[in-house]
Amino acid sequence: MLELIVATTALFLLGVLPALLLSGKDEAGQSDREKTITAIDALLPQTQCGDCGYPGCLPYAQAIADWDVSLNLCPPGGDATVRKLEKLLGKSYRHTPPPMLESAVALIDEETCIGCVKCIVACPVDAIAGSAKQLHAVIPEYCTGCKLCLPPCPVDCITMIPYEAPITF
Ligand code: SF4
Ligand code: SF4
Ligand code: SF4
């Protein structure tokens, strides 16, 4: 029995452990690169919309980790996601607001809105104010124009309108 334990331990030390060290993986089997990608992906909205130019959130996370692409390519994530990515990756010099889609923001028709809250749940950047059975309204300065609030609205009372941020001096 003792021989079996010694043999098993030797096999582990000679086989598995060096393999882990050489691969740079931790005990959970994740390399530093994989851990970085997982951490980046966890900060992305997971809407899989593809507006960043990649086929989903995970491919964009992989591109950030592998090719150091810009951190501001995710419109649904908005400025808040850029800030979180900067904090994670220590790249404060990349802090610029993400591009808006079609320079448009959502507008809710007050006459038709039934206050069902579904748009608030869908909005990834908290750009819609309102509570159950009350009128909802979009805060244009927060809206990234991602249109994710449109499909869930049961009465189709949300439209996209052109928007230009007010000029401040
Ligand atoms: S734009 Fe943002 S939410 Fe959409 S797929 Fe890319 S990372 Fe995900
Ligand atoms: S388009 Fe709708 S879901 Fe997207 S940010 Fe604006 S209010 Fe939110
Ligand atoms: S989903 Fe449509 S009806 Fe429901 S609260 Fe939002 S705007 Fe109003």
Position 76: which residue type?
Answer: P
Q: Which CATH class is domain 30-99?
A: mainly alpha
**Torsion sign over Cα 31, 36, 39, 43:** negative
Q: What is the mean pLDDT of residues 131-138?
A: 82
- Cα gap 119→23, rounded to integer Å: 45
pLDDT tens profile 13-31: 444 444 444 445 556 678 8
Q: How far is the CA of 26 from the centre of ligand 3 (A)?
A: 47
Question: Is residue 64 lining ligand 1, measured as CB closer than 6 Å?
Answer: no
Position 144: which residue type?
Answer: T
Going from N- to C-terminal start, the domains of the chain cover: 30-99, 100-163
Question: Which option is the CATH number for 100-163: 3.30.70.20, 3.30.1360.170, 2.60.40.10, 3.40.50.720?
Answer: 3.30.70.20
Question: Is residue 158 lining ligand 3, measured as CB closer than 6 Å?
Answer: yes
pLDDT tens profile 59-69: 899 999 998 88
Token pair of 62 as six digits: 């992989």
- What does the buried/exposed string (b/e) look like for 4-32 if buried means 16 or more CB atoms within 10 Å of the residue's CB? eeeeeeeeeeeeeeeeeeeeebeeeeeee
Position 151: which residue type?
Answer: P
Q: How far is the CA of 142 from the centre of ligand 3 (A)?
A: 17
Q: Give the residue with greater pLDDT, 146 vs 18.
A: 146
Q: Identify the residue whose C-alpha is closest to ligand 1 atom 2.
A: 74
Q: How far is the CA of 122 from the centre of ligand 3 (A)?
A: 10
Q: What is the mean pLDDT of residues 155-167?
A: 81
What's the half-sphere exposure (Cβ side, CA atoms, 13 Å) at 41?
16
Q: Which atom of ligand 3 is nearest to the CA of 155?
A: 3
Rounded to the nearest integer, the mean pLDDT of the chain is: 78
Question: Is residue 129 lining ligand 3, measured as CB closer than 6 Å?
Answer: no
Query: Which of 79, 74, 82 lies closest to 148, judged by CA?
Result: 74
- Cα gap 29→65, rounded to integer Å: 18
The per-type count for the chain, helices as H runs and strands as E runs, is 6, 4
Name the closest ligand to CA 122.
2
Question: Is residue 71 lining ligand 1, measured as CB closer than 6 Å?
Answer: no
pLDDT for residue 12: 42
pLDDT for residue 165: 60
pLDDT tens profile 74-121: 988 888 898 899 999 987 655 555 554 456 889 999 899 999 999 999
Whether the CB-CB separation of 64 and 40 falls below 8 Å is answered with yes
